[in-house]
Structure 1
Amino acid sequence: MREVSFIKQNKEKWLAFEKAIFNNDFKDADELASQYIHVINDLAYAQTYYPKSKVIVYLNQLAAKAFQKIYKTKREDNNRLVSFWKTEVPLICYQYRKFIYVAFIIFFAFTFIGAISAANDGEFVRSILGDDYVNMSIENIEAGDPVAVYKSGSNWGSFIGITINNLKVGIISFILGVFGGIGTIYILFENCIMLGSFQYFFYEKDVFWESVRGIWIHGAMEIFAIVIEAAAGLILGASILFPNTYSRMTSFKQGAKTGVKILISTFPFTFSAGFLEGFITRYSNIMPHWLSAGIILTTLSIITYYYLIYPFKIQKQITQSPLLNRP
């Protein structure tokens, strides 16, 4: 069958299924699972006979949405909270993985710009971080403790204050996505320029490793979470700019709902980063190198696995789901 005929033959069925998923218009889980199987079969057919077709992308996304609905309605899965982090968010991250990739590309680009700017302009770091902060950092370096700033305040006070601030940054970054994603990109720009110039400053002062131990013990999760929150903001912006087959309002509602779920998923990592900064980072200069490096690698591995690797493993379950083998 020619691709055009294949699409023409099934188009109405796919659109009706997509509308039913969005409006939750199903009598029961069996009906949903039955139509899901048809979509999976169409996807397999398209992958076999039209491997380069855009219809594969569409059917893949449609199957992912249906799979989320099925997991929500499975009788054995009574714990909604566990299902949210275990299945729903990873599937969303897989479906919108391109936004996450774009957010990371922007992150690395802006951070690089910050570092290059600091390398070529001796006053750039002061213009970004302020004279007081730079002077304080120089004093700390001369005193032999480059990241002494993280030792100020009490453990609990630092943890609470830092966590609230990071949550605020993430929420604002997401909300500003309503301006076509430009507001989100601006928040990311501010943070990345600061990070790049800050790290170069310590490199220039020959205390780069000391700064890495102090910053990235908590920064691995904190900064990674900020990038994921930026991806959520970009999804919100794209839902307004590119509504596709939906009305702009319907697309916006769907984008906002998806973005909020991704935003909420970052909160445990933000809390963990705040805890590490309040209780662990302050001891970075006295802990063994292997321990600080181990904490950094472990925290980075956990959040990387959850957002960049685990979604692919969950996606594979779509074609291996027991629901496909129902009698």
Structure 2
Amino acid sequence: MREVAFIKQNKEKWLEFEQAIFGNLKKNPDDLASLYIHLVNDLSYAQTYYPKSKTVVYLNHLASQTYQKIYKTKREDTNKLIYFFKTEVPLLVYQYRRYVLYAFLIFGILTAIGVISARNDDTFVRLILGDSYVNMSLENIKDGNPVAVYKSGSNWGSFVGITFNNLRVGALSYFFGIFLGFGTFYILIINCIKIGTFQYLFYKENVFWESVRGIWIHGSMEIFAMVIEAAAGFALGASILFPNTFSRLNSFKIGFKNTFKIFLSTMPFTLMAGFLEGFITRYSIDMPHFLSVFIILSTLSAISYYYLIYPFKVHKKINLKNT
């Protein structure tokens, strides 16, 4: 069957799905489950005969939304918070996985720009970080504690102040996605170039390893969460730019509803990063090397698994249940 004929034959049925999921058409869970079976069959057919078609993308999106609607209605004895982090967010991250990839690529490129600029222009570090911060860091390096800045203030005061700032930056990165993703890109430019410049300063002063041992105790989760927030911002902008079969307004509503959940999921990691920065990083210079490395690798592994591996496991598990 030609793709045009396939679409024409099933268009009304798919529109009914859309109304049941996104519109005002009320369906009980059993009816939704029945519709879902038909939808999965159509998706399988399209994947077989039109594998590179936009029809596959559309049906895959519709199937994932239908699944969430069914199990959000039918699940029993499941804590909503557990379901949110265990199933709902991973499925959404899988759905928007291309934007996670884009965010990491952009992060890497912009950070490299910061490093290269600092390396080739002696004034760049001070331009980006400011004279006072650079002078303070150089003094700390001379005193044998490159990350002494993290010892300033009380534990609780540092934790609250740092966490609030990180949440603010994350919120800006996400919500600025409404400007077609360009706002998110702007926030990434500012922060990534600072990160690259900041790390090059320590490299130039031959204390790179000492800085890594301190900064990345909290930085692993903090920076990773920032990239995921940027991915959510890019996906939000894309929902406006690329509405597919939906009206632009409906596409934005769906995009905001989904990406906001991804943004919310980063908050526990941001809080943990703030806790580590306020209470642990300040002791990194006196900490055994193996312990600082263990904390860095543990935090990086935890957040990497949750956003880069676990979503694929959840998606695969759901597909097996429905085959």
Q: Smaller-chain TM-score range?
A: over 0.9
The share of aligned pairs that are identical, in percent, is: 69
Distance in 1 between the 2:199 and 2:289 partners? Answer: 19
Look up the equivalent residue of 2:105 and give its one-letter code.
I
1:95 aligns with 2:91: no
1:177-220 Cα shifts (integer Å, max 9, x gaps): 12111111111110000000111111111111111111111000
Q: Is 1:247 matched up with 2:257?
A: no
Q: Structure 2 CA distance, aligned partners of 1:9 and 1:309?
A: 37
The answer for the alignment partner of 2:8 in structure 1 is 8
Return the alpha-carbon distance in structure 2 between the equivalents of residues 14 and 129 of structure 1: 54
Structure 2 counterpart of 1:170: 170
TM-score (norm 1): 0.94
Alignment of 1:117-196 (within 5 A): 117-196=117-196
State the 1:159 CA deviation.
0.7
CA contact (8 A) 1:125 1:198 kept: yes
Higher alpha-carbon deviation: 45-54 or 94-103: 45-54
Match of 2:281 in 1: 281
CA distance in 2 between partners of 1:6 and 1:303 (Å): 42
Q: Does 1:265 align with 2:265?
A: yes
Q: 2:232 corresponds to which letter in structure 1?
A: A
Partners in 1 of 2:209 and 2:5 — Cα distance?
Answer: 61
Instruction: Indicate if the aligned counterparts of 1:64 and 1:315 stay in contact, CA closer than 8 A.
Output: no
Would you say the 8 A contact 1:67–1:318 is kept in 2?
A: no
Residue type matched to 1:100 in 2? Answer: V
Distance 1:67 1:282 in 2: 46
Q: For 1:19 and 1:216, locate their aligned partners in 2 and report how far apart those are by CA, in whole Å.
A: 47
Q: TM-score, normalised by structure 2?
A: 0.96
State the alpha-carbon separation in 1 of the partners of residues 203 and 72 from structure 2. 49
Determine the C-alpha separation between the residues in 2 that align with 1:75 and 1:242. Answer: 32
1:177 touches 1:233 (CA, 8 Å); kept in 2?
yes
Native 8 Å contact 1:118 1:124 kept in 2: yes
RMSD: 1.5
What letter corresponds to residue 320 of structure 2 in structure 1?
A: Q
Q: Which amino acid aligns with 2:241?
A: L
Matched position secondary structure for 1:284: helix
- How much has 1:77 moved relative to structure 2? 4.5
Distance 1:250 1:7 in 2: 21
Letter in 2 for 1:114: G
AA in 2 matched with 1:185: F
Counterpart CA distance in 2 for 1:249 and 1:43 is 25
CA distance in 1, matches of 2:161, 2:3: 57
CA distance in 1, matches of 2:214, 2:81: 33
Say if 2:45 is the partner of 1:45. Answer: yes
Whether the 8 Å CA contact 1:180–1:241 is kept in 2: the answer is yes
| 2:69 counterpart of 1:69 | yes
User: How far apart in 1 are the matches of 2:247 and 2:47?
Assistant: 29
- Poorly superposed stretches of 4+, deviation over 6 Å: none
Residue 43 to residue 250, structure 1, CA distance change in 2 (3 Å): closer
Instruction: Say whether the 8 Å CA contact 1:150–1:281 is kept in structure 2.
Output: yes
Q: Which amino acid aligns with 1:158?
A: S
Structure 1 letter corresponding to 2:302: I
Name the SS of the counterpart of 1:65 in structure 2: helix
User: What is the match of residue 293 of structure 2?
Assistant: 293
Aligned length: 323
Please, which runs of 5 or more residues in structure 1 have no aligned partner?
none
The Cα shift of 1:279 comes to: 0.9
